[in-house]
Amino acid sequence: MNLKLSNFNILLYTGTIMVVLCLLLLVSGIFLAMHYIPDANKAFESVHITIMQEVNYGWLWRKIHALGSTFFFLLLYIHLLGMLYFGFYKHGKMKYWYSGMVLYFCCMVIGFTGYVLPMGQMSYWAAQVITSLLEYIPGAGEDIVLWVRGDFSVSGITLLRFYTLHIVVMPFAIALMIFVHIDFMKWYATTKLSWTRKGLHVSKEERFSKHALPPKEPKPFFSNAVLKPLLACTLFLAFFFYCVFFHDYLAFDALNLTPANPADTPAHIYPEWYFLWMLQLLKSFFFDIGFIKGSYIGMASLVVVNMGLLWMPLLDKNPRRIPAHQRPYFCVWFWALVLSLVALTILGKLPTTELTLWLGFVFSSVIMMLFILLPFLSQKEAHAKS
C-alpha cells in the first residue's frame, strides 16, 4: 500500500474540513434542539440555564455548535477567496462557482437564523435591525418585513419561523447543494478503483467526453483520497477542540449573555463577525444624494457586491485561468478586495462615529468600484498578454 505524502497543503482541504464541520454542527444541533424551546419568553432560559447548566454535557454541545459555526464561516471565506485567487470560476469550473455561491447564500441564512435563536440582547436587536432593512426593497418592502417577522416587531412568531428555517429548511437545502457543488453523481460515474501490486488506486474515466482522451495515470487511493484529507481534518480538529475547551469566548458576545429586552436599545448594534462587512456597507452611505436616500444606496451597494461575486465568471474577461500572482492587474484587484472586506469587518464592530462612517464610505466605494472596473481591467490585461 502506497503511503507516500507529497505536496500536502492544508488549505487545499478547506472544503473537506467544512464538510466535517457540517457533520459536527448537525450532530450538536440535534442535541441542542432536544432541549431548546422556540418561545420568546423561554428561549433564553432554555439555552443558558437548561442546556448550559442542567443537561449533562449540554455546555459542550453548545460550545461545539457556536465555535463550529464561527470556524465554518472563517473557512468559507478562505475557500471563496482562494477560488478567486486561483481563478477557479472559469471554463469547466463555472458550475462549481455558481453552486458554491448558492451554498454561500444558504449558509448566510442559516447563520443569521441561528444567531437569533438564543434571544440574547444583541441577537434580538440585530434581528430587529437587519429585518427592518427589507423595508428598503422598492414597492413591497413593508409587506416583506411583516411577512418575514410575522409581526410588527421581532417576537415569538419570528422566533418560531427562524427556528423552522434553521433546523428543517436550510439544513436540507445545504445538504442538497453540497452534493451539487461537489458534483457527486458525475464523480461516482467517472471514478474507477483498481487494485495493483502497489495498493488501491483511483483513476478517472471521461465517460461523458465526446472525444477520445488518453487514459490518465491512476493515483494512489489511500494517500490521496484518505490520508491527506484525514491529516488535514485531524490537524484542524485538534486546534478546534483546543479552542472549544480554552477559548470559547471567540464565539460568544458578552452582551448576548443577557436576556433580550425590547425596551433597552444597545448603544451599538452589530451581528456576528461574518455579517459585519455587510452591515458596514449598509451604514456607510449616511447621506442622501439628490432625491435618493442614503439607505437605498447602502442596500444597492450590498446587492452590487454580492451579485458581483456571483457573476465573477462573466465579469472577468481574461480567458486564461491562472493564479492572481501571474496577472498584474487582477492581483492588485484581488488584494484591494481582501483589504476592503477586512476593513469593513473591523469598522462594523467599532462604535459608530464620524470617522468610522467616512472610512466605511471610502472602503464601500472602493469595493463597489472594484466590481465595476473588473471587466475593463481584465480585458486590458488579456490584450496585454496576447
- Is the confidence at residue 219, as pLDDT, over 60? no
Q: Check whether residue 335 and residue 280 sit in a common domain.
A: yes
Cα torsion through 275, 254, 75, 373, rounded to 10: 30
pLDDT for position 257: 86
Q: Check whether residue 55 and residue 130 sit in a common domain.
A: yes
Domain final position from 271, 295, 311:
271
- Is the confidence at residue 168, as pLDDT, over 50? yes
Residue 75: which pLDDT band, with cuts at 50, 70 and 90?
A: very high
Half-sphere exposure of 110 (CA within 13 A, CB side): 26
Q: Check whether residue 78 and residue 191 sit in a common domain.
A: yes
Average per-residue pLDDT in the chain?
84
> What is the extent of the structural domain holding 94?
1-271
- Is the confidence at residue 382, as pLDDT, over 60? yes
The x, y and z cell numbers of residue 262, run together, are 425590547
Residue 130: which pLDDT band, with cuts at 50, 70 and 90?
A: confident
The mean pLDDT value for 320-344 works out to 92
Phi, psi of 195 (to 5 degrees): -110, 125
Phi, psi of 348 (to 5 degrees): -65, -25
Buried residues in 209-218 as b, exposed as e (16+ CB within 10 A) = eeeeeeeeeb
What DSSP state is assigned to residue 268? Answer: S
pLDDT for position 31: 93
- Is the confidence at residue 204, as pLDDT, over 90? no
pLDDT for position 46: 93
Q: Check whether residue 79 and residue 167 sit in a common domain.
A: yes
pLDDT for position 369: 93
Look up cell 491527506; give the residue.
228
Residue 163: which pLDDT band, with cuts at 50, 70 and 90?
A: very high
Q: Check whether residue 74 and residue 97 sit in a common domain.
A: yes
Residue 161: which pLDDT band, with cuts at 50, 70 and 90?
A: very high
- Is the confidence at residue 7, as pLDDT, over 80? no
Residue 150: which pLDDT band, with cuts at 50, 70 and 90?
A: confident
Provide the percentage of residues in the chain whose pLDDT is more than 90: 41
Domain final position from 271, 292, 316:
271
pLDDT for position 217: 56
Buried residues in 296-318 as b, exposed as e (16+ CB within 10 A) = ebbbebbebbbebbbbbeebbeb
Q: Check whether residue 287 and residue 221 sit in a common domain.
A: no
CA-closest candidate to residue 310, choices 365, 364, 371 = 371
Look up cell 480554552; give the residue.
246
The mean pLDDT value for 353-362 works out to 91
The total number of residues written for the chain in this structure: 386
pTM, to two decimals: 0.85
Distance separating alpha carbons of residues 69 and 77, to the nearest angstrom: 12
Give the three-class secondary structure for 31.
helix
What are 109-123's pLDDT values in tens digits?
A: 999 999 999 998 889
Half-sphere exposure of 304 (CA within 13 A, CB side): 19
Give the three-class secondary structure for 139.
coil
Q: Check whether residue 104 and residue 144 sit in a common domain.
A: yes
SS3 content of the chain, % helix, strand, coil (to 5): 70, 5, 25
> How far out from the chain centre does Cα 317 lie?
26
- Is the confidence at residue 302, as pLDDT, over 50? yes
362 within 8 A of 347, measured Cβ to Cβ: no
- Is the confidence at residue 300, as pLDDT, over 70? yes
Phi, psi of 204 (to 5 degrees): -105, 135
The winner for highest mean pLDDT among 103-117, 212-226, 275-289 is 103-117
What DSSP state is assigned to residue 133? Answer: G
C-alpha distance from residue 237 to each of 9, 11, 122, 229, 287 (Å) = 16, 14, 29, 12, 46
70 within 8 A of 85, measured Cβ to Cβ: no
Q: Check whether residue 239 and residue 201 sit in a common domain.
A: yes
Kind plus residue range of the DSSP H or E element containing 148: helix 141-149
Q: Check whether residue 129 and residue 246 sit in a common domain.
A: yes
Q: Burial level of 188, CB count in 10 A (0-12/13-18/19+)?
A: exposed
pLDDT for position 188: 46
What are 245-284's pLDDT values in tens digits?
A: 998 888 888 888 888 888 888 878 888 899 999 989 988 8
Residues 6 or more apart whose CB falls under 8 angstroms from that of 269 comprise 122, 125, 126, 129
Lowest mean pLDDT among 27-41, 82-96, 162-176: 82-96
The mean pLDDT value for 177-205 works out to 60
Give the three-class secondary structure for 292.
strand
Distance separating alpha carbons of residues 3 and 6, to the nearest angstrom: 10
Domain final position from 249, 271, 293:
271
41: domain CATH number?
Answer: 1.20.810.10
The mean pLDDT value for 342-363 works out to 91
- Number of structural domains, the chain? 2
Q: Check whether residue 253 and residue 283 sit in a common domain.
A: no
pLDDT for position 215: 55
- Tell me the sheet residues that pair with 200: 195
Q: Check whether residue 142 and residue 236 sit in a common domain.
A: yes
Q: Check whether residue 295 and residue 244 sit in a common domain.
A: no
Residues 6 or more apart whose CB falls under 8 angstroms from that of 88 comprise 96, 97, 321
- Is the confidence at residue 339, as pLDDT, over 90? yes
Q: List, as one string, the DSSP characters of 186-238.
A: HHHHHEEEEEETTEEEEEE--TT-SS--PPPPPEEHIIIIIIHHHHHHHHHHH
The mean pLDDT value for 223-249 works out to 84
Phi, psi of 270 (to 5 degrees): -150, 150
Residue 312: which pLDDT band, with cuts at 50, 70 and 90?
A: very high
The mean pLDDT value for 223-245 works out to 84
pLDDT for position 106: 93
